[in-house]
Amino acid sequence: MKIIITQLLLLISSIGFISAQDQSIDNLLFELPDVIFERVKSLDSNSIAFELKIKQPIDHNNPEEGYFYQRAFLNHKGINNPTVFVTEGYTCTANWPTELAGLLDANQLAVEHRYFGESIPVDTTYSFLNLEQATADLHHINQLFKGIYKNKWISTGISKGGATTIFYRYFYPNDVDVSVPYVAPINNEFEEQRIYDFFDTISTNECRKKIEKLQIRLLKNRKKIMPLIRFYAKGARLNFSYLPIEEAFEYAVLEYPFSFFQWGNDCEDIPQKDASIEVITSYLLDVSGVAFFSDRSMDAFAPHYYQSANEMGYYGYEIDKFKKLIKYLPTDTNPFAAFTLNNMVVEFDGSLLDEINAWLPENGNRIIYIYGANDTWSASAVQPSDKVDALWFFMGGKDHGNARIKNMNINDRKLLISTLERWLQTEIIE
């Protein structure tokens, strides 16, 4: 009986502690200037979740330009826990718990990128859409919430969000203790040439030949394929006012190798040469697809394409082998994969890429880079340097979607955890 009473008292005490924590974080958020918050359903049963709207200057260098509200999601576990700071590259629609937050038993603060989702300034020209302004947003939020969360901070992001993590560390090297970017490309130039080298060496020669032959067959049989593409587009309610559907088809064929390796497709699944037109069309739509080039996608990714064309760089499509089969795309140069809306003229400035590519090998300490060796974007990976205290993982057989800590082999996972323990000066109990 005494044991049962003791356990009951401990349970009551625990409930009281959680209730106090609940009340405490509400009060602390209320005291933050220019932060609007409301509780939302938590997708992590061990945390309390909030949706936040944080007031940000449109131009951090000139607040007179006005303000906008930036959306963020907070998963609160405790004011004494570490904090994982998620630097989204696009929208942020829910309080999804990251594997790092679970591993570190950490609070999580995920921030939507400016000009995406609901975090859009009143500015249709993208005048203030650049990495200097975007990382200044993150710095402002970091400084606000460090008043609540005084323990260690770890920034992380995936893909473009991972690149944002790296640029954030460059602009504000002392904001966080550790950075963990996943599958994050940092390009060298406007049209990243290393992508082409990747396609020349990845997988086997047999697989690469199968991909090329399928592309040629798709282009040669466009008269039979286009009615199927149009039927699909109608059913999917896709519109093509930015790009005519014929151009979208050609782009989809050129995009096919990039998507094939980015998302870990199997060479054995490539249709054989005797496969029907219906089969190869369906396969193209599954792996690459015209939806990616429809109005819906163009509108959603317009800020991303602007950033790529303006300062982040991107990739193009080599067409030497297909020039005689291309009917709608220009063939005097490689078509570029970043599509600015309404043919907006964007001048590329590569100075930031030059700066960060020079800075990282000398100063990029306490960064853990995680890449999938089969992922096309691993071609633009930050390369290892023995001049910094950092860690690189190129996960064999993994792609853009599954290069994650949970999929690491035992030795790599142990190395990652021991490194985090050393940098954060804490013990991680799995």
Q: In what side-by-side order are the strands of the sheet with 35-40?
A: 35-40, 48-57, 67-76, 107-111, 83-87, 153-158, 178-182, 368-372, 391-395
Instruction: Report DSSP state, residue 111.
Output: E
39 neighbors 28 (Cβ within 8 angstroms): no
| Confidence at residue 232, expressed as pLDDT on a 0 to 100 scale | 98
pTM of the model: 0.93
Sorted by where each begins, the domain ranges of the chain are 32-189+352-424, 194-343
127 neighbors 346 (Cβ within 8 angstroms): no
CA 363/CA 357 separation, integer angstroms: 10
| Confidence at residue 23, expressed as pLDDT on a 0 to 100 scale | 55
Instruction: Dihedral sign for Cα 397, 400, 401, 407, please.
Output: positive
Burial class (CB in 10 A: 0-12, 13-18, 19+), 192: buried
pLDDT tens digits, the chain, 430 residues: what are they? Answer: 444 444 444 444 444 444 445 559 999 999 999 999 999 999 999 999 999 999 999 999 999 999 999 999 999 999 999 999 999 999 999 999 999 999 999 999 999 999 999 999 998 789 999 999 999 999 999 999 999 999 999 999 999 999 999 999 999 999 999 999 999 999 999 999 999 999 999 999 999 999 999 999 999 999 999 999 999 999 999 999 999 999 999 999 999 999 999 999 999 999 999 999 999 999 999 999 999 999 999 999 999 999 999 999 999 999 999 999 999 998 889 999 999 887 788 999 999 999 999 999 999 999 999 999 999 999 999 999 999 999 999 999 999 999 999 999 999 999 999 999 999 999 998 8
40: helix, strand or coil? strand
Name residue 86's beta-bridge partners: 110, 156
70 neighbors 137 (Cβ within 8 angstroms): yes
CA 221/CA 215 separation, integer angstroms: 10
Structure tokens at 89: 């590259």
41: helix, strand or coil? coil
Residue 48: alpha-carbon gap to chain centroid: 25
| Confidence at residue 124, expressed as pLDDT on a 0 to 100 scale | 74
77 neighbors 107 (Cβ within 8 angstroms): yes
User: For the domain with range 32-189+352-424, which CATH number is right: 3.40.50.2300, 3.90.550.10, 3.40.50.1820, 3.40.50.300?
Assistant: 3.40.50.1820
CA 204/CA 419 separation, integer angstroms: 35
Q: Of the candidates 158, 30, 171, 154, which has an alpha carbon nearest to the alpha carbon of residue 103?
A: 154
For residue 422, the surrounding DSSP H or E stretch is: helix 410-424
50 neighbors 92 (Cβ within 8 angstroms): no
Q: At what angle do helices 245-262 and 205-220 cross, to 10 degrees?
A: 170
| Confidence at residue 16, expressed as pLDDT on a 0 to 100 scale | 44
Q: Of the candidates 41, 62, 58, 63, which has an alpha carbon nearest to the alpha carbon of residue 50?
A: 41
CA 304/CA 362 separation, integer angstroms: 28
Structure tokens at 139: 């710095």
